[in-house]
Amino acid sequence: MAGTWARRRRLTSLAAVEAAAATTTAVVVEKEAEAMAEVMASHADVVPGVEAKG
């Protein structure tokens, strides 16, 4: 039984790590998108076809 319990604990820990990594990745992607939007908005006058956000 101890082996089964340890295996479950490892799987639970792995699931928690994967969930944390997915959350971290989502936050990073969101922050990068916000930063890119700011850059695009600040360069709207020099980038054809991009409108400045007000």
Quote the radius of gyration of the chain (alpha carbons, Å).
21
Domain of 38, in residue numbers: 1-54
**Phi, psi of 48, deg, nearest 5:** -60, 140
- The residue with greater pLDDT, 3 or 54, is 3
Tracing tokens 């956000």 back to the chain, one arrives at 53
Write the pLDDT tens digit of every residue in 10-54: 778 888 889 999 999 999 999 999 999 988 888 766 656 666 565
Q: Identify the pLDDT of residue 46.
A: 66
Count up the domains in the chain and report the number.
1
- pTM of full prediction above 0.75: no
Q: Identify the pLDDT of residue 43.
A: 74
- In the chain, the amino acid numbered 51 is E
Q: Identify the pLDDT of residue 7.
A: 75
